[in-house]
């Protein structure tokens, strides 16, 4: 992946001052090791009139898989080839942003020991990124950069120039131009907005990312019209971190309005913040787990399968309720199961508690004798991650072979997507979703499954039930018909 920064100059203020600002000599080609490859800095041109610095990042795909999330570019966890064959080495992303922060750290902070006066000097700048993933298209690129004073050119890249009828890809060629800009400002804008446009990060977003965002966004993020979207995407849509960042940005805005320090007004809004905390909505994931627990309790289930358990959030919730005497988490991803094991602290769990829970690897596309004999099975936000042709295999494995008395299936309601402000029109909620159903489509599928396998089915709204578009999550509660249950019991 590749990025260039250019400036022009005069004999009094030569363009080669860019070398001082970036702390990289124009007469050298330098290489820097990163966790995921090698960053090269070189100058294709450098004289008094014009100077261009280029950052080239060579990504080690194997290191990315071993040290990163291990899912390629947001690909499915079972798509092994996508771990090594993806756009990461070629398109600007959080990898390039991290390289900017590592290679140009002093320049981002506005520090220049040799020429202390230079960082504060605004100068004409031109930034070019040949391949930039833009989830939201050229329009979003402009909405992010133009409020910061950039003249933006975002040209869509065709899927294939020889087949124009295929249309454009999600990549753009980006050119940013400004007649008066400091280098530090430009680097800070790129550091935040490149991964925001890509809407993906190659590393786990921890709490310290909030501090990093506010530090790099100082002076421009609090007043940006797309502040909410930037904050949410930069923090990988982690609601707790986004909420914290937005609260702190509001403090900055209030401080600027009152011409005072943040610390001076922090105490003044503490009581109000505590009062508002009681009114903040419960996250949808928590509402979903509460609905599942309620349905399992109503069904009288004690032995429960969590099929597609992921990182173990539901298993952890069920373990807190002694009514569930046996909880089994199943997932195809060993990495997810490892994270679930750490979350549950299985290695430190007491013997009695440990006897209630098991985790094992398995694919829901195949019948598995280990899944038979349970009171209930939960498929929470699972079906939409499968290709539609594979659904019949999952259906048979769960309803035809395992046959628990109760099956709960939750899935997004695509009609509700128009209520998500940060979700571009026509996009699904997660890049790994193969589809998302309307309420009618979900009920048609669930009704047919119930009829084929001797179950009754009812539907539960999860989250606020919008009168026009319904709830954000829809849940089907399948209950084995009484005569079917009795017939199977006699056969056993």
Task: Give the Cα separation of 428 and 40 in Å (integer).
Answer: 37
Instruction: Write the DSSP string, 65-100.
Output: HHHS-SSTTT--TT-GGGGTSSSTTTS-SHHHHHHH
Task: Give the Cα separation of 150 and 220 in Å (integer).
Answer: 13
Check if the beta carbon of residue 399 is closer than 8 Å to that of residue 453.
Answer: yes
Task: Give the pLDDT confidence score for residue 425 in this predicted structure.
Answer: 62
Share of the chain above pLDDT 90, in %: 56
Work out the pLDDT band at 77, boundaries 50, 70, 90: very low
Residue-wise burial string across 143-160, b where 16 or more C-beta atoms lie within 10 A, e elsewhere: ebbeebebebebeebeee
The set of long-range contacts for 444-449, using a CB threshold of 8 Å and a minimum separation of 24, is: 445/391, 446/409, 446/476, 446/478, 449/395, 449/399, 449/478
Pairing of strands 30-34, 473-480: unpaired
Task: Give the pLDDT confidence score for residue 486 in this predicted structure.
Answer: 59
What is the average per-residue pLDDT within 338-362? 89
Task: Give the pLDDT confidence score for residue 421 in this predicted structure.
Answer: 63
Check if the beta carbon of residue 36 is closer than 8 Å to that of residue 95.
Answer: yes
What is the average per-residue pLDDT within 439-458? 96
Task: Give the pLDDT confidence score for residue 85 in this predicted structure.
Answer: 66
Question: Angle at CA 96, nearest 5°, toward 206 and 119?
Answer: 95
What is the average per-residue pLDDT within 439-445? 96
Task: Give the pLDDT confidence score for residue 149 in this predicted structure.
Answer: 94
Task: Give the pLDDT confidence score for residue 252 in this predicted structure.
Answer: 63
Task: Give the pLDDT confidence score for residue 273 in this predicted structure.
Answer: 47
Task: Give the Cα separation of 400 and 456 in Å (integer).
Answer: 14
Task: Give the pLDDT confidence score for residue 76 in this predicted structure.
Answer: 37
What is the average per-residue pLDDT within 95-105? 89
Task: Give the Cα separation of 446 and 437 in Å (integer).
Answer: 11
- In the predicted structure, residue 271 carries a pLDDT above the cut 50: no
Helix, strand, coil percentages for the chain (3-state, nearest 5): 40, 25, 35
Give the chain's mean pLDDT. Answer: 85
Per the structure block, which two tokens stand in for 35? 């966790």
Share of the chain above pLDDT 70, in %: 85
What is the average per-residue pLDDT within 37-63? 89
Work out the pLDDT band at 280, boundaries 50, 70, 90: low
Any idea which of 199-213, 272-286, 365-379, 448-462 has the lowest mean pLDDT? 272-286
Task: Give the Cα separation of 186 and 252 in Å (integer).
Answer: 21
Work out the pLDDT band at 270, boundaries 50, 70, 90: very low
What is the average per-residue pLDDT within 336-365? 89
Q: What's the predicted TM-score (pTM) here? A: 0.54
């Amino acid at each position: 992946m590749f990025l260039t920064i250019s400036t022009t100059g005069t004999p009094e203020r030569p363009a080669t001052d860019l070398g001082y600002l970036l702390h990289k000599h124009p007469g050298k080609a330098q290489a820097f090791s990163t966790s995921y490859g090698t960053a090269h800095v070189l100058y294709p041109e450098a004289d008094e009139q014009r100077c261009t610095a280029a950052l080239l990042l060579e990504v080690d795909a194997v290191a990315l898989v071993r040290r990163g999330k291990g899912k390629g570019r947001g690909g499915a966890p079972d798509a092994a080839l996508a771990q090594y064959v993806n756009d990461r080495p070629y398109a600007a992303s959080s990898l390039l942003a991290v390289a900017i922060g590592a290679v140009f750290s002093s320049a981002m902070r506005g520090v220049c020991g040799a020429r202390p006066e230079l960082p504060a000097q605004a100068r004409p700048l031109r930034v070019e990124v040949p391949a930039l993933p833009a989830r939201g298209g050229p329009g979003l690129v402009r909405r992010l950069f133009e409020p910061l004073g950039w003249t933006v050119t975002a040209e869509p890249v065709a899927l294939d120039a020889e087949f124009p009828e295929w249309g454009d890809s999600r990549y753009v060629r980006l050119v940013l131009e400004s007649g008066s800009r400091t280098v530090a400002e430009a680097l800070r804008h790129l550091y935040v907005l490149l991964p925001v446009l890509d809407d993906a990060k190659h590393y786990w977003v921890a709490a310290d990312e909030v501090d990093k965002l506010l530090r790099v966004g100082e002076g421009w993020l609090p007043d940006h019209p797309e502040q909410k979207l930037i904050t949410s995407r930069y923090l990988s849509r982690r609601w707790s971190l986004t909420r914290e960042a937005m609260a702190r940005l509001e403090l900055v805005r209030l401080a600027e309005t009152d011409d005072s320090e943040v610390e001076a007004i922090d105490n003044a809004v503490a009581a109000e913040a505590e009062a508002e905390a009681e009114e903040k909505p419960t996250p949808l994931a928590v509402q979903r787990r509460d609905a599942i627990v309620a349905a399992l309790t109503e069904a009288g289930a004690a032995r429960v399968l969590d099929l597609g358990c992921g990182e173990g959030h539901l298993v952890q919730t069920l373990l807190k309720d002694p009514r569930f005497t046996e909880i089994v988490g199943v997932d195809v991803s060993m990495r997810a199961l490892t994270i679930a094991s750490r979350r549950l602290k299985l290695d430190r769990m007491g013997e009695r508690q440990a006897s209630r829970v098991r985790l094992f690897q398995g694919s829901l596309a195949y019948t598995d004798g280990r899944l038979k004999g349970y009171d209930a099975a939960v498929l929470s936000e699972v079906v939409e991650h499968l290709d539609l042709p594979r659904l019949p295999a999952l259906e048979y494995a769960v309803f035809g072979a395992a046959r628990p008395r109760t099956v709960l299936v939750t899935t997004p309601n695509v009609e509700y997507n128009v209520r998500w402000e940060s979700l571009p029109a026509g996009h699904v909620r997660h890049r790994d979703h193969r589809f998302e159903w309307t309420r009618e489509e979900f009920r048609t599928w669930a009704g047919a499954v119930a009829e084929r396998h001797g179950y009754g089915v009812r539907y539960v709204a999860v989250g606020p039930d919008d009168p026009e578009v319904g709830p954000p999550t829809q849940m089907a509660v399948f209950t084995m018909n009484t005569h079917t249950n009795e017939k199977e019991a006699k056969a056993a």
